Amino acid sequence: MANKKSLGHTTHTKAADEQIGFPGEFPRPLKVTMLGAGSFFTGCLFNDLAHAPGLPGLELALVDIDAKRLGIMQKLCQRIAKDSGVEDKVKVTASTDRCKVMGGSHYLVCCVEVSGVDCVRFDNDIPARYGVDQCIGDTIGPGGLFKGLRTVPVWLEILRDAERLCPEAIVLNYTNPMNMMCLAAGRTSTMQVVGLCHSVQGTSHLLAQYASVPYEELDWECAGVNHLAWFTRLNHKGKSLYPKLRKQFEADIAEASDPSKGNDIVRKHMCLHFGAFITESSGHLSEYLPYYRKRADILQRYCRLGYDGGSSFYANMWPEGRKKSDADRMKMLKGKESLANKRSWEYASWIIEAREKNKAHRIHGNVLNMAKGGGPLISNLPHDGCVEVACLADGNGIQPTVYGPLPKQMAAICAMDMRVFDLAAQAAIERSVELAVHALMMDPLTSAVCSLDEIRAMTLELFKAEKKFLPGYK
């Protein structure tokens, strides 16, 4: 296990920031299987890999139970390969049966979504009747819990197939709820799994903008849990940027007494009170906490529209957003909309390239806190939980680094949510209704507005409404 201090404090190498990659050829042809290939991520992640220098022969196997979306994505990936100049090196296959194509995969990328958009309104509207106001509702709270209860059993079936068909593959998970997914995998599977999000990359760049500092000069550390990781170190030329930022944030929050003004208020407010900036958007973050969504006046003061905290934002946006995404793909296929021609900061292609070329590359990944053969990565968070920390990707695979203790107040916030994830993951593993009830009883937002009787009634109502997608729960 690597020590955090040996890796520096920026999340990308210079090459990654320039979206180029490492020099040299890949040492072997690759097979990468994309699960849930009809998702938003597939085109972007394959485009990233297609732009990795020295790409050898590649078999890209696409899997999705929606045959129509799968067929469109296969054609789109073939178009990306052609436009990227690697058409002669890439073979794109597709199947609705994962077991027919997973065999021999070096990497599995999971982007599955169980139930599509069928449960979005249940996840949002039933809790809303009990007073639980959600913005995104797909990683914590009632919506996140039930997305996990639907998704984790399917995820574990995928991992069991992987143990049989490609046991040496590294599994790169992009599916939410991230913490529950990775925790359940760590408790039940022998596969090497890392959960990947882009909130660390996005927020580190945002902080450089807030501080008016060139990103490459930013010196930082970040650790916690997914969507609730803290930039505990944020320096420029040896000096902390937080005194300057706190003054800015105080002014922004003072102005935000007018609900029509201000942005990203929840994160700025949390930074003032707890001492560091957090990775996820203000809207999403507000669901992880008991402070911001429990009364209409508080919600109006600190939350804004869209990702800044809009009520029912995801439930109202996602069904139409999915349709738009499908329409955009058709425009790309017809040449009416351009394809990306550069690598993104999504971690998947950088991990694959770093491992294959044995080049050290730093990412932030979601892994079990108690690493194999060692102690906890974050010492004052639950040792049986899942954390988001800096990891080294190289020829040895994914190697989490030891962070040590978080500041106590930050650890307390993370630990509060980790108890929800603990119970939720176990509820999905055991398909237990009672454990699911207890998970929601521990949820910070839900417990801030509901009684125990109300939480139980709400959970059972959600189970009844989504029964079609929750087989085997007792």
Marked catalytic residue, from 288, 292, 302, 473 = 288
Q: What is the domain extent for residue 104?
A: 22-117+140-198+335-389
Assigned domain for 35 exists: yes
Confidence of residue 3 (pLDDT cuts 50, 70, 90): very low
3-state DSSP of the chain: CEEHHHHCCCCCCHHHHCCCCCCCCCCCCEEEEEECCCCCHHHHHHHHHHCCCCCCCEEEEEECCCHHHHHHHHHHHHHHHHHCCCCCCEEEEEECCHHHCCCCCCEEEECCCCCCCCCHHHHHHHHHHCCCCCCCCCCCHHHHHHHHHHHHHHHHHHHHHHHHHCCCCEEEECCCCHHHHHHHHHHHCCCEEEECCCHHHHHHHHHHHHHCCCHHHEEEEEEEECCEEEEEEEEECCEECHHHHHHHHHHHHHHCCCCCCCCCHHHHHHHHHHCCEECCCHHHHHHCCCCCCCCHHHHHHHCCCHHHCCCCHHHHHHHHHHHHHHHHHHHHHCCCCCCCCCCCCCCHHHHHHHHHHCCCEEEEEEEECECCCCCECECCCCCCCEEEEEEEEECCEEEEEECECCCHHHHHHHHHHHHHHHHHHHHHHHCCHHHHHHHHHHCHHHHHHCCHHHHHHHHHHHHHHCHHHCCCCC
- The pLDDT, as a whole number, for residue 19 is 62
Tally of domains in the chain = 1
Higher-confidence position of 474 and 20:
474
Assigned domain for 238 exists: no
Assigned domain for 85 exists: yes
- The pLDDT, as a whole number, for residue 145 is 98
User: What value does the mean pLDDT take over residues 17-36?
Assistant: 88
Percent of the chain with pLDDT over 90: 86
Confidence of residue 2 (pLDDT cuts 50, 70, 90): very low
Whether pLDDT at 113 is above 90: yes
Of 200-209, 258-267, 457-466, which gets the smallest average pLDDT?
258-267
State the CATH number of the domain containing residue 158. 3.90.1820.10
Confidence of residue 71 (pLDDT cuts 50, 70, 90): very high
Assigned domain for 175 exists: yes
Confidence of residue 332 (pLDDT cuts 50, 70, 90): confident
User: What value does the mean pLDDT take over residues 342-346?
Assistant: 91
Assigned domain for 184 exists: yes
Assigned domain for 322 exists: no
Per the annotation, the verdict on 361 as an active-site residue is no
- The pLDDT, as a whole number, for residue 1 is 39
Marked catalytic residue, from 9, 130, 198, 383 = 198
Whether pLDDT at 70 is above 50: yes
Whether pLDDT at 7 is above 50: no
Per the annotation, the verdict on 198 as an active-site residue is yes
Assigned domain for 166 exists: yes
Whether pLDDT at 310 is above 60: yes
Answer whether 0.75 is exceeded by the pTM.
yes
Percent of the chain with pLDDT over 70: 96
Of 7-11, 22-26, 120-124, 439-443, which gets the smallest average pLDDT?
7-11
Assigned domain for 298 exists: no
Predicted confidence (pLDDT) per residue in 233-279, tens digit: 999 999 999 999 999 999 999 987 787 788 999 999 999 999 999 99
Of 44-48, 71-75, 256-260, which gets the smallest average pLDDT?
256-260
